[in-house]
């Protein structure tokens, strides 16, 4: 063995031992991850589109969102939501909200944040808008309800109240309490 090779082997051994010494686990101040911290590995989608169909397979409604993410409890949270009925469904309403939660166990959708339901052929055949902070919506039954404060505009008339039940297919709205309004002749 040449002296050059021997020196190279000694230097390589020292470098290996040095790197082992620096990289070894000394049980210092690096804490192991807690067992209580669960890692959520659900799916997410961008530019989401969910189609709701009737029993015969015909399209009834469409839910569109900019973003959808599976939650740890298996519900799906949507962002920037728009729900439209098809012309064949005879429900001339569009619903918008900042977020929505959808559960596989329940057909209803919980809409939250700046909820606006709008129809150009709404109550009494006039443009109708319903505004609230949250709304529970059943797209198959075409029913929406809330216990929150609600503002309703029907043409030039304005109503407000607390709590509401809306039958969208029938263009009928029931305000539950604290009703007040302004009607222009």
Domain ranges in the chain?
44-182
Residues 6+ apart with CB under 8 A from 44: 67, 68, 69, 70
133-179 confidence digits (pLDDT tens): 999 999 888 899 999 999 999 888 899 999 999 998 888 889 999 88
10-27 confidence digits (pLDDT tens): 666 777 766 767 677 655
What angle is formed at CA 123 by the lines to CA 140 and CA 183, rounded to 5 degrees?
Answer: 145
What angle is formed at CA 78 by the lines to CA 128 and CA 154, rounded to 5 degrees?
Answer: 5
Mean pLDDT confidence for 56-63 = 88
Residues of the chain with pLDDT > 70, as a percent, come to 81
CA–CA separation, 133 vs 126, rounded Å?
23
Give the model's pLDDT for residue 113.
Answer: 95
Which secondary structure element, helix H or strand E, spans residue 16, and what is its range? Answer: helix 3-23
pLDDT-derived band at 121 (thresholds 50, 70, 90) equals: confident
CA–CA separation, 53 vs 89, rounded Å?
10
**Angstrom distances, CA of residue 110 to CA of 77, 98, 121:** 10, 11, 24
Which residues are registered as beta bridge partners of 134?
Answer: 112
Which residue did the predictor score with more confidence, 42 or 61? Answer: 61
Give the model's pLDDT for residue 96.
Answer: 96
Give the model's pLDDT for residue 39.
Answer: 57
pLDDT-derived band at 34 (thresholds 50, 70, 90) equals: low
Tokens of 51: 């189609």
Please determine, looking at this structure, whether the domain spanning 44-182 carries the CATH number 2.60.450.10.
Answer: yes
User: pLDDT at residue 45 above 80?
Assistant: yes
Give the model's pLDDT for residue 92.
Answer: 83
What is the distance in angstroms between the CA of the first residue and the CA of the last residue of the chain? 110
User: pLDDT at residue 85 above 70?
Assistant: yes
Contacts for 171-176: CB closer than 8 Å, 24+ residues apart: 171/92, 171/119, 171/121, 171/122, 171/123, 171/124, 171/125, 171/128, 172/123, 173/123, 173/128, 173/130, 175/150, 176/147
pLDDT averaged over every residue in the chain: 83
Mean pLDDT confidence for 181-185 = 69
CA–CA separation, 158 vs 172, rounded Å?
15
């Amino acid at each position: 063995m040449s002296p050059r090779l021997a020196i190279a082997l000694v230097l390589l051994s020292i470098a290996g031992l040095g790197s082992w010494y620096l990289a070894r686990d000394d049980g210092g101040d690096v804490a192991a991850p807690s067992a209580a911290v669960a890692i959520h590995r659900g799916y997410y989608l961008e530019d989401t589109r969910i189609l709701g169909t009737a029993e015969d397979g015909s399209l009834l409604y469409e839910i569109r969102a900019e973003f959808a993410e599976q939650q740890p409890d298996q519900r799906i949270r949507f962002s920037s939501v728009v729900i439209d009925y098809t012309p064949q469904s005879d429900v001339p309403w569009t619903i918008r909200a900042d977020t929505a939660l959808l559960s596989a166990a329940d057909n209803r959708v919980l809409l939250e944040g700046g909820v606006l339901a709008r129809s150009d052929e709404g109550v009494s055949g006039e443009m109708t808008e319903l505004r609230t902070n949250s709304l529970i919506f059943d797209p198959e039954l075409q029913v929406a309800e809330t216990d929150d404060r609600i503002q309703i505009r029907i043409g030039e008339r304005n109503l407000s109240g607390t709590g509401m039940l809306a039958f969208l297919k029938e263009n009928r709205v029931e305000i539950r309490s604290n009703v007040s309004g302004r009607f222009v002749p």
